[in-house]
Structure 1
Amino acid sequence: MNYQTFEPHANLASVVKCYWTLEVPKEPDTQRQRIVPDGCLEMIFILGDDIKRYTSENEFIIQPRAIVVGQITEPFIIEPTGYVHCFAVRFYPFGFANFISTPIKELANKETPTAQIFGETPSIELEQSIINAADEHQRVAIIEDFLLNKLSEKATIDHVVKATIETLFLTKGNTTITAILKNDLSKRRQLERKFFKQVGLSPKQLGKVIRLQAALKMLLNQKTENLTRIAYDNEYYDQAHFNRDFKELTGINPKDFLENDKMQLSTIFYSKD
């Protein structure tokens, strides 16, 4: 398995978290994998064999080859059908709204073909360029040229939304929206509307996801196996609160997390900052 990340151009660094590539050889016995919410949106190009996403225990769809995955509030269960090769852009929570006019909430909990977002002809041209690129560095150059052109066409993100998200990340999701707004509750509804349009989640939901990611990193990096300690360090009210949020967003209990054979990709994606 080969997973690499690449830093974005300085002009995109405020909206793009990273570019990543993943290659996994075809295996005789593929396993379903659990992808959990992380607060980010991704544009993914599937360059290898098809990938299934399960919509129920026994039903699945074949993911389109060029997609945007919006905010997810529950785990995605995917399964490769053979050789895995993906190239992707990981956007900050507020990042993708800078490139489109479609409200981000309309992309939530699903994969949307890029053609539906950017138009069929530009999307086909972009996909073919990504497919035919000589290597990952050339793919980064291609996607950055595309994004920089799109960025100049759109208004920038609301500064209050950006500042709120930065505070949530800085405090690992442990600051209340009331505190961020300095007890000015008259601004709360307006902020929530902007969040749903530009991020796809409410501020409270995003804070919950960010806090979960902090707990996930502790588990994945095996800093401690004491779940009570993890709950305490991440400022959950108690162990029950931690367990409830964890299962809601990952579909699995914390104590079973590391032993689950569906967590291989999550271990790669979420163990690092």
Structure 2
Amino acid sequence: MNYQTYKPHVDLESLVKFYWTLEVPFDPKNKKQKIVPDGCIEMTFNFGDKIKRYTSENDFILHPDAMVMGQRTKSYYILPVGHVDTFAICFYPIGFANFVKTPLDKLVDKEIPISDLLEQTEAYDLEQQMVQASDTQERIDIIDAFLLKKLNEKNTISSIVKSTVATLLKTNGTTPIKALLKDDISKRRQIERHFKKQIGISPKQLGKAIRLQATLNLMLNKKSETLTNIAYESEYFDQNHFIKDFKNFVGITPKEFLDNEHMALSALFYK
């Protein structure tokens, strides 16, 4: 597997976390790979063979070649049918709403063709430019220009969402939402409404996804030697709380996750 990340244009750095590319030669021995929620929305362009996303043990759908993957509330399996050649834009939680008018709760746990979110001609032109580009740098330049142009349309994120997301990111998702809102019921309703439209999931769900990512970083980079230490550093109440939350998101326990052949792709993203 060849996984690389790239910085976006400086004027996009507060909205786009990074661009990434992935190339994987076809191997008939390849196993399904589990993808876990990360609190981000991604736009991906597939230049290789089709990719299956499993909806059950044996049933699957095929990913569109140019699509947006909405916020995830649960893990899922994918399996390429051949060679993988992908370019993607990973948006910060507050990033993607700046470029589309569609309420982001409509995208949760779905893969949406970009033609359903952008104007038909705009989507077609962008996809063709990406397909015909000669290399990764040209694709980066194309996406930089496209996003900067879309950003000028002045879609905005509410200040309450920005400040809440900033706090969750700064604290790796460990700050309780109650502490942010100080038991203000009206403020809670307001932020839930804004999050649904501009992020796609609730503040609590986003906090859990961000915390999971921080935890996976600790696990896969061996910054902590035991699950007890990881639970402590990630500010879970205790190890049982950590294992329960992890299993709810990933579908298996932290111990089962490590060195699991179905987790090779997810593990690659953290190393």
Range class of TM-score, shorter chain: over 0.9
Letter in 2 for 1:80: P
- The answer to whether the Cα contact below 8 Å between 1:168 and 1:210 also exists between their aligned partners in 2 is yes
What's the secondary structure of 1:11's corresponding residue? Answer: helix
Q: Percent identity?
A: 56
* TM-aligned CA deviation for residue 220 of structure 1: 0.8
**In structure 1, distance between residues paired with 2:154 and 2:250:** 34
* TM-aligned CA deviation for residue 183 of structure 1: 4.1
Residue 52 of structure 1 aligns with which residue?
52
* TM-aligned CA deviation for residue 43 of structure 1: 0.1
Give me the CA root mean square deviation: 1.1
Residue 261 of structure 2 aligns with which residue?
261
* TM-aligned CA deviation for residue 264 of structure 1: 1.1
What's the secondary structure of 2:206's corresponding residue? Answer: helix
* TM-aligned CA deviation for residue 95 of structure 1: 0.5
Moved more, 182-191 or 73-82: 182-191
**In structure 1, distance between residues paired with 2:58 and 2:182:** 48
* TM-aligned CA deviation for residue 55 of structure 1: 0.4
After the TM superposition, list the runs of 4 or more consecutive aligned residues in structure 1 that deviate by more than 6 angstroms: none
> TM-score, with normalisation over the residues of structure 2?
0.97
> TM-score, with normalisation over the residues of structure 1?
0.96
Residue 126 of structure 1 aligns with which residue?
126
What's the secondary structure of 1:166's corresponding residue? Answer: helix
- The answer to whether the Cα contact below 8 Å between 2:101 and 2:155 also exists between their aligned partners in 1 is no
- The answer to whether the Cα contact below 8 Å between 2:34 and 2:266 also exists between their aligned partners in 1 is yes
What's the secondary structure of 2:262's corresponding residue? Answer: coil
Unaligned stretches of 5+ in structure 2?
none
Moved more, 103-112 or 120-129: 120-129
Query: Residues 189-239 of structure 1: CA distance to partner in whole angstroms, max 9, x if unpaired?
Result: 101110111001111111111111111111111223411111111111111
Residue 163 of structure 1 aligns with which residue?
163
* TM-aligned CA deviation for residue 176 of structure 1: 1.4
**In structure 2, distance between residues paired with 1:219 and 1:194:** 33
Letter in 2 for 1:232: Y
Query: How many residues in Structure 1 have an aligned counterpart in Structure 2?
Result: 271
Taking the TM superposition and a 5 Å limit, the aligned residue runs for 1:74-113 are 74-113=74-113
What's the secondary structure of 2:261's corresponding residue? Answer: coil
**In structure 2, distance between residues paired with 1:225 and 1:253:** 16
**In structure 2, distance between residues paired with 1:223 and 1:233:** 10
What's the secondary structure of 1:68's corresponding residue? Answer: strand
**In structure 2, distance between residues paired with 1:136 and 1:171:** 33
- The answer to whether the Cα contact below 8 Å between 1:178 and 1:185 also exists between their aligned partners in 2 is no
Unaligned stretches of 5+ in structure 1?
none
**In structure 2, distance between residues paired with 1:234 and 1:109:** 25
